[in-house]
Amino acid sequence: SAVAFADYNHDGYLDFLLTGSKIDNSKISKLYRNTGTNFTEEIDLTAVSGSSIAFFDYDNDGDLDILISGSDTSNVRIAKIYRNNNGTFSHDTGISLTGASDGAVACGDYDNDGDIDIVLTGDTNSTYISKLYRNTGGSFSQDTGINLPGVTGGSVVFGDYDNDGYLDLLLVGYINSSTRISKLYRNNGGSFTEN
């Protein structure tokens, strides 16, 4: 399960996205709008469990879009971006990301080009992954210049730990059923080295 708060419709109130499994094991992904006095169910997105979510503005239009990954109702691993067009969301089918569940997502401009990039981790049902996707003006391509170990059941986060103006990367999780790792990667101006 995952939850994230954001003011997606610019009305001054924090809304939230909730994903995961309900008590009856059915899967959900629901966006709730904050009216100022309560929350109303706004839209349903692809229902997932083992999910990770993030609000971020991938197309630089000033609206917060949604990244969601997990296992859908057919147990297919997905990773989708929903474009926010003035409060209305649609799946951007032009973007292809590797589907994964039981992982994590992080968003940040690691190459300082003004576009928000993505790290996606998790279980594809055949392997564990950790993939860095470079945003090239609203579309994404995998950055194969960094070899991150595939993980599941962990977390990933961007942060500039050395104050050099570049977002570094911290990755934790299981690389197999019994081995857990924690690795810090220093950003050297758009490329990463393990610290």
Each domain of the chain, given as residue ranges in start order, spans 2-194
**Alpha carbon distance 83, 133 (integer Å):** 17
| Whether pTM exceeds 0.85 | yes
CB 30, CB 46: distance < 8 Å = no
CB 66, CB 81: distance < 8 Å = yes
Host H or E run for residue 88: strand 88-91
Q: Which residue has 């006095």 as its token pair?
A: 37
Q: Which residue has 């170990």 as its token pair?
A: 149
Q: Rounded mean pLDDT of 129-155? A: 96
Q: Rounded mean pLDDT of 104-131? A: 98
The answer to whether the Cα torsion of 148, 149, 152, 155 is positive or negative is negative
Top-level class of domain 2-194: mainly beta
pLDDT exceeds 90 at position 190 = no
Q: Which residue has 């940040």 as its token pair?
A: 108
